[in-house]
């Protein structure tokens, strides 16, 4: 059963929602699911961007896409509110067996924190390269 849509409060400066609602399902995207990148289409219709933030971990380049693993660094990405309850199972399938959806604490750029789903990499690492800055968009700068 779908929950009724609720309007969000938007910041007059940024146009993005100011606060998450209690009980919201959140997803942190740190790679090709982010706006403007190859696989954002999977999130575009069923999410609302909350803002940019970071999570604890180490970002690896796996070739055409990244993966996050445990580590003491910070990884940059985007926090989304899931508006369509069918979306997460679809993204689970798209991410595949080498990625496991787990909870993580996201620190937004304004200092707020939220618990969100994140896809952690659990596959082979022999050919993976660490992205020291933790930012997929700017990985080779």
- Give tens-digit pLDDT for 45-94: 899 999 999 999 999 999 999 999 999 999 999 999 999 989 999 999 99
Place of tokens 């620190």: 107
The SS3 assignment for 141 reads coil
CATH 3.10.490.10 fits 26-130, yes or no: yes
Strands 99-108 and 129-130: unpaired
Which string of b and e fits 44-69 if b means at least 16 CB within 10 Å?
eebbbbbbebbbbbbbbbbeebbbbb
Contact at 8 Å (CB) between 63 and 31?
no
Q: Where are the domains of the chain?
A: 26-130
State residue 3's pLDDT score. 37
| pTM (two decimals) | 0.83
State residue 17's pLDDT score. 47
Q: Which helix (H) or strand (E) is 57 found in, with range?
A: strand 47-61
* Active-site residue identified among 38, 78, 95, 126: 95
Contact at 8 Å (CB) between 120 and 69?
yes
> How much of the chain exceeds pLDDT 70, in percent?
83
95 catalytic? Reply is: yes
- Pull the structure tokens for residue 71: 């580590």
């Amino acid at each position: 059963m779908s929950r009724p849509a609720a309007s969000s409060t938007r910041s007059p400066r940024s146009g993005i929602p100011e606060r998450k609602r209690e009980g919201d399902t959140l997803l942190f995207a740190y790679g090709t699911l982010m706006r403007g990148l190859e696989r954002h289409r999977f999130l575009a219709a069923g999410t609302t961007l909350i803002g940019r933030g970071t999570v604890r971990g180490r970002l690896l380049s796996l070739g055409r896409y990244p993966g996050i693993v445990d580590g003491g660094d910070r990884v940059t990405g985007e926090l989304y509110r899931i508006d369509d309850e069918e979306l997460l199972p679809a993204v689970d399938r798209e991410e595949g067996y080498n990625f496991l959806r787990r909870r993580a604490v996201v620190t937004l750029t304004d200092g707020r924190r939220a618990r969100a789903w994140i896809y952690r990499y659990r596959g082979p690492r022999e050919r993976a390269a660490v992205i020291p800055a933790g930012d997929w968009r700017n990985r080779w700068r």
